[in-house]
Amino acid sequence: MRKRRFRHGFLVGLVTGVGLCLLVLGAAGLVLVRRGITVQVDLSGLATVLADKIREEANAEIPAVMAEARSHVPEQVAEEMRGAIGSASVSIGDLSVSLPDDMVTDLEKRLAALVEESVYGVFETMDLTGVVDDLAERAYGMITTGLAAEIRELGLSVRGPLNLSVPVTVKAR
């Protein structure tokens, strides 16, 4: 008899415990399905990370871009300077003397070399850190304002087990 009571008490306790667990899980699931989940996104932190990444990438890429630009300077200058001085003459008072063609060609070459040196000088003295910082700051601003407008209160729906739909709200902060 005693053994039977123990089994009966054990089974009642087990069924009651499992039933209570199922009831609590069901209630939690119902609350989850009705209220959903709210995810808050820290746009400031995200924007800072992305701006730093943009700054890093720009600093890594700028030397290659500048080298590419430098390599095109001679051909670009030669193309622009070709025929820039059609004919040249020296005038003193009423007297005008035309320069020979080889002298004009030499003058064009010297002028092209001077322009190349000037362009290279500009490349050397260019402060690109300001450009990179400006790019990163603009990216930061675009992310914080643009993404905030997109996310303001974005509503999604995620399918869970038993084909239950759980609403997910994404909020920007």
Residues 104, 85: Cα–Cα separation, whole Å? 7
DSSP symbols for 7-31: HHHHHHHHHHHHHHHHHHHHHHHHH
**pLDDT (tens digit per residue) in 23-67:** 998 888 777 777 878 888 888 888 899 999 999 998 888 888 888
Banded pLDDT at 120 (limits 50, 70, 90)? confident
Residue 29 lies in a domain: no
List residues bridging with 98 in a β-sheet: 89
Residue 124 lies in a domain: yes
pTM listed for this prediction:
0.55
Name the pairing type of β-strands 165-172 and 95-98: unpaired
* Sheet-wide strand order for 153-159: 37-41, 165-172, 153-159
% of the chain residues with pLDDT over 90: 10
Banded pLDDT at 144 (limits 50, 70, 90)? confident
Residue 52 lies in a domain: yes
Banded pLDDT at 21 (limits 50, 70, 90)? very high
Residue 21 lies in a domain: no
Banded pLDDT at 20 (limits 50, 70, 90)? very high
Residue 25 lies in a domain: no
Residue 1 lies in a domain: no
Residue 84 lies in a domain: yes
Domain housing 59 = 34-172
Residue 126 lies in a domain: yes
Residue 153 has pLDDT above 70, yes or no: no
**What are the E-state strand segments in the chain?**
37-41, 89-92, 95-98, 153-159, 165-172
Domains in the chain: how many in total? 1
